[in-house]
Structure 1
Amino acid sequence: MLTGQVTDREHDRARADAEALLTAAYPGDSGEPRFWPAWQVLLPHALAIDPARLTTRRGREAVGDACWYLMDRGQARPARERLQRLYDTCLQQLGPDHDDTLRAAHRLACAYADTQDHERARALDEATLGHRRRLYGENHPDTLASARSLAVGLWELGRYEEALVLDEKTLEVQRRVLGLEHPGTLATAAGLAVELEAVGRVGEALVLGEETLEVQRRVLGVEHPDTLFTASNLAVWLEAVGRVGEALVLGEETLEARRRVLGVEHPDTLFTASNLAVWLEAVGRVGEALVLGEETLEARRRVLGVEHPDTLGAVGLLEWLKRQQAEGEAS
């Protein structure tokens, strides 16, 4: 044990060196798939650093991005713990209006949402949006990102009309200020399409989804996570208007891509797999649907836990598929 042999000054020097090495090795935006191999290597080192001990903006950004990478991998709980510590430290040391505090708050709210703590997500997003509006103005990209995040939180709490109005306003501003092809604009458009479909405006959702997917494929690439998010949802809407064959083709393409890009057990991959099982049954491929349903349930139990709403949904889906198979064999 070296604990008693190392001075406080040496501890501080070692922490500073670790932070400097982390920032020097920073690969780039962890939301970009091209940087994921480098993030996979850097992640253990980033997570070994106590967020409360960071002293530079670059260090805080690197650890925040590491947590974002974790959330993209479906590991929201460990990310939330670190983001909570980072936010609390920034709030205490830098104050509520500091840019680093607001960035940490934005990420922490997303982690709250990903761990089903939607009321805390909404409250933090609402506060962050208020700060950003006052400090940066209505049209700043960070303000608009907070507005989009708040709309997600409102939706999850059942405040559908408020969420829809906020997203429609945010998209309008983003298109005017950031442009039609900006990733933030496209992300809001994709989210708004989901909400439109959910309130029965399926035709509008389908048009917006098709337009958004076309631009995302061209600007972000066919295998970018945001592109695949839109493709997966568009397949759902195609099926909803009776275009089952198109939904099946797009669903199969998207599942293959998500498995390759995100991994076979990522929650988004499992969402596409669950939907695809339904469409396979609809075209008479019940055996394939049943296998996919069983695989999806097993993975969700392992990744999300037995009580998660998505896991319970997978249980119901598998039971339904089994009944469909039994009825088919009996007829």
Structure 2
Amino acid sequence: MDPVGWPTWAALTSHLTAGLHTAAQHPPLHAILIRAARYLCVSGQSRATRDLTAALHRLWITALGEDHPDTLGIAQYLGHATTDLGTDAAARHIIEDTLERRRRVLGPDHPDTLTSANNLATTLDSLGEYEQARRLHEDTIKHRRRILGPDHPETLTSANNLATTLANLREFRAAEQILGDARARSRRVLGENHPDTQRLTENLAQVLTALGRPFEAHRLRVTGGKKGQRRKRR
């Protein structure tokens, strides 16, 4: 979600949440409510995300059922918010449940299922379960490359997150190779100044520093880097 559109989403989200129960009962508004949750999530408003998604999740479980795609869509952002608020163990339960339901309802290759798989892998990484995270990231990126293509932003997100886990396992050379390839693709597809490209640049600089190449890391940051979070959910 492009930050340029955030002011519009801020105004729309405020309007929707003021009449949440009414809006939640109108199916044509469901997709907009899910995007409003995404806006709150990516703009760093974790508590607001948690409050909105928890309310919608309860409403839609009753009205639509636990396996409805809209219920699962809002559960995805409830998992994000729970993680961002520092409760990874609780988030793991939400994300695992969402992934299991999406695999059953949508199939293992659906982009939404792969999003949940990516999210679970990043949560496992946060919990220090690096080998499990690695296996899930490797499986997810394999599917995303096949279904979405190697240059798709979500495939590049998986590459970034796999490299983060490899760095946590101190496999820095493998992480460097993955990040270098992903950064080159991101620069070509998204541009040098896109937040995803800058995230990859900073993560590659951190890996170069860990490999004992601080001057290369500094040059990379100067020519195109900007500090960002090491992992990303999508």
Normalised to the residue count of structure 2, the TM-score between the two structures is: 0.89
Q: What SS does structure 1 have at the residue aligned with 2:92?
A: helix
Preserved contact between residue 196 and residue 204 of structure 1 (Cα < 8 Å): yes
1:249-276 CA distance string (max 9 Å, x none): 3334433xx7xxxxxxxxx4xx69xxxx
Distance 1:66-1:211 versus aligned 2 partners, 3 A rule: same
Bigger relative CO (Cα 8 Å, ≥ 6 apart): 2
Preserved contact between residue 32 and residue 224 of structure 1 (Cα < 8 Å): no
Where structure 1 has 5 or more consecutive residues not aligned to the other structure, the ranges are 1-30, 259-267, 273-331
Distance 1:90-1:247 versus aligned 2 partners, 3 A rule: same
> Out of 76, 79, 97, which is 1:127 matched to?
97
> Out of 121, 134, 143, which is 1:164 matched to?
134
Match of 1:27 in 2: none
> Out of 171, 182, 192, which is 1:222 matched to?
192
Match of 2:225 in 1: 254
> Out of 69, 73, 79, which is 2:49 matched to?
79
Measure, in 1, the Cα distance between the counterparts of 2:194 and 2:27: 28
The equivalences for 1:160-309 within 5 A come to 160-252=130-222, 253-255=224-226, 268=228
Measure, in 2, the Cα distance between the counterparts of 1:52 and 1:217: 43
Measure, in 2, the Cα distance between the counterparts of 1:71 and 1:136: 24
Match of 1:96 in 2: 66
> Cα offset for 1:186?
1.0
Measure, in 1, the Cα distance between the counterparts of 2:37 and 2:67: 22
Larger Rg: 1
1:296-323 CA distance string (max 9 Å, x none): xxxxxxxxxxxxxxxxxxxxxxxxxxxx
Where structure 2 has 5 or more consecutive residues not aligned to the other structure, the ranges are none
> Residue type matched to 1:175 in 2?
R
Measure, in 2, the Cα distance between the counterparts of 1:150 and 1:231: 24
> Cα offset for 1:234?
1.0
Match of 1:148 in 2: 118
Distance 1:49-1:221 versus aligned 2 partners, 3 A rule: farther
> Out of 107, 111, 124, which is 1:137 matched to?
107
Normalised to the residue count of structure 1, the TM-score between the two structures is: 0.65
Match of 2:3 in 1: 33
Distance 1:242-1:228 versus aligned 2 partners, 3 A rule: same
> Residue type matched to 2:225 in 1?
T
Q: Percent identity?
A: 37
> Cα offset for 1:229?
1.8
> Cα offset for 1:52?
6.7
> Residue type matched to 2:199 in 1?
F
Measure, in 1, the Cα distance between the counterparts of 2:118 and 2:60: 23
Preserved contact between residue 130 and residue 168 of structure 2 (Cα < 8 Å): no
Measure, in 1, the Cα distance between the counterparts of 2:26 and 2:183: 38
Deviates more, 1:130-139 or 1:242-251: 242-251
Measure, in 2, the Cα distance between the counterparts of 1:71 and 1:104: 11
Measure, in 1, the Cα distance between the counterparts of 2:116 and 2:171: 25
> Cα offset for 1:240?
1.4
Distance 1:235-1:52 versus aligned 2 partners, 3 A rule: farther
